[in-house]
Homo-oligomer: A and B are copies of this chain.
Amino acid sequence: MSIHEVARRARVSIATVSRTINGVPTVTPQLSRRVWKVIEELGYYPNTQARALVSGRSRIFGLIVSEITNPFFPEIVQGFEDLAVQHNYEILTTSTVHDPKRMALSVRRMIERRVEGVAIVTFGMEEELFDDLKSRQVPLVFIDVGPSLPRMSNIRIDYLHGIRQAVQHLAALRHERIAFISGPLALKTAVARQRAFLQAMEEIGLPVESKYQIEGNHTMEGGIEALKKLLTLPKSPTGIICSNDMTAIGVMRQSYEEGITIPDDLSVIGFDDIRLAQFTIPPLTTVKMSQTEIARLAFHALLAEVQRKMPSLNGSEYILRTSLVLRDSTAMAPKSPPQRGRRHSPSVRGNGGALRE
């Protein structure tokens, strides 16, 4: 069943059907009604491929994420889809599972489907993988790591704002030995977070010993290993800031194994504020980097670029603020540092009078 069938039954030309569907105002209301009636009766839905082919616009955006099974991403995917629905776009989501081959394949799939733009929301990436996209002038939006070129937008993350709040929160709770578990330092974003931490510490004159800086890998397992390392130290930290929430969850998980009570023995702060962070035991204090907002910025960046006739020379830049969300994984620094094997009876928790969400 095609536009011809509709035209035939409504006794008009296919052009009129096309005009009716696309709301071209010249169509007589009477004809329009007749056409719509047939469309309803037939349950006719236009063929998007044909439309795309002739119009040169696929109405598809690509969305590349590191791995959809990482709880950080589904919120972004959902946010992106919500906007797509609103704007009559389709989303082609691909999950690279950290495999450059898969990433390259993603790019290829996107080009073959003639997407109008691609949002790249991955932790790490090899820039040259996107050369094919660039050479085709496909609008791209990156999180935090992209170059400033025409047709490319960047969402820069203001890590310092949130991480400074995290550091100062711990400091206000009398923590002096504060550790930072970073992501893989091969990733720009991981380095940026670490740098923000160091700067925030320096601002308030707290020294950071290198033994308190552990390189993690943004996974729960990484958090587990990192905590184990920290606990071997003669003076283990009383507060830990993690480069992402999964790491923090790993730290909490291992604390449980070690008989360390959070937040009484140890304060833990995450980063990202994934939904899960509300559901940990105890609920996780963390630096929020709104996934919905990322989706919104990314989508609108692409939309703007698609609608723009002349691309600006350096692309566009957007800024995303981060900020601390207080929950229950932080408390006053304990008198004695946490040790393996002890079990505390729960003491009164405090967070220095800071506001809870």
Asked if residues B46 and A112 are in contact (CB atoms below 8 Å), the reply is yes
Asked if residues A78 and B97 are in contact (CB atoms below 8 Å), the reply is yes
Asked if residues B90 and A109 are in contact (CB atoms below 8 Å), the reply is yes
Asked if residues A53 and B43 are in contact (CB atoms below 8 Å), the reply is no
Q: Is A77 an interface residue (CB 8 A)?
A: yes
One of A191-199, A209-217, A276-284, A330-338 contacting the partner: A276-284
Asked if residues A69 and B75 are in contact (CB atoms below 8 Å), the reply is yes
| Inter-chain contacts of A47 with B (CB < 8 A) | 53, 112, 114
A230-246 to B contact mask, C-beta < 8 Å, 1/0: 00000000000000000
Within 8 A of B (CB), among A28-61: 43, 45-50, 52-53, 58
Q: Which among B69, B90, B109 is the interface contact of A113 at CB below 8 angstroms? A: B90
Q: Is A100 an interface residue (CB 8 A)?
A: no
Q: Is A253 an interface residue (CB 8 A)?
A: yes
Asked if residues A81 and B94 are in contact (CB atoms below 8 Å), the reply is yes
Q: Which among B45, B74, B75, B113 is the interface contact of A48 at CB below 8 angstroms? A: B113
Q: Is A304 an interface residue (CB 8 A)?
A: no
Q: How far is the CA of A343 from the CA of B58 in the complex (A)?
A: 60
A306-318 to B contact mask, C-beta < 8 Å, 1/0: 0000000000000
A138 to chain B, nearest CB (A): 12
Shortest Cβ distance from A53 into B: residue: B49
Q: Is A275 an interface residue (CB 8 A)?
A: yes
Q: How far is the CA of A102 from the CA of B78 in the complex (A)?
A: 12
Q: How far is the CA of A67 from the CA of B81 in the complex (A)?
A: 11
Known: A90-B113, A220-B279. A78 touches B67 (CB 8 A): yes
Q: Is A68 an interface residue (CB 8 A)?
A: yes
Asked if residues A85 and B114 are in contact (CB atoms below 8 Å), the reply is no
Asked if residues A49 and B345 are in contact (CB atoms below 8 Å), the reply is no
Q: Is A105 an interface residue (CB 8 A)?
A: yes
A345 to chain B, nearest CB (A): 7
A269-293 to B contact mask, C-beta < 8 Å, 1/0: 0000001100111100000000000
Within 8 A of B (CB), among A118-136: 132, 135
Asked if residues B95 and A49 are in contact (CB atoms below 8 Å), the reply is no
A1 to chain B, nearest CB (A): 9
A68-102 to B contact mask, C-beta < 8 Å, 1/0: 11010111011001000100001111110100001
A275 to chain B, nearest CB (A): 7
Q: Is A166 an interface residue (CB 8 A)?
A: no
A164 to chain B, nearest CB (A): 29
Known: A74-B74, A345-B343. A58 touches B49 (CB 8 A): yes
Asked if residues B71 and A279 are in contact (CB atoms below 8 Å), the reply is no
Instruction: A68-B81, A90-B109, A92-B92 given; name 9 further pairs at CB < 8 Å.
Output: A48-B113, A49-B114, A53-B53, A68-B68, A69-B74, A71-B74, A85-B102, A90-B92, A276-B276
Ordered by A's residue number, 26 sampled pairs between the chains whose C-beta atoms are within 8 Å are: A43-B135, A45-B111, A45-B132, A47-B112, A47-B114, A48-B113, A49-B49, A49-B53, A49-B113, A67-B78, A68-B81, A69-B75, A69-B275, A74-B74, A77-B95, A78-B95, A78-B97, A81-B94, A90-B109, A93-B93, A249-B279, A252-B281, A256-B282, A280-B281, A281-B281, A343-B346
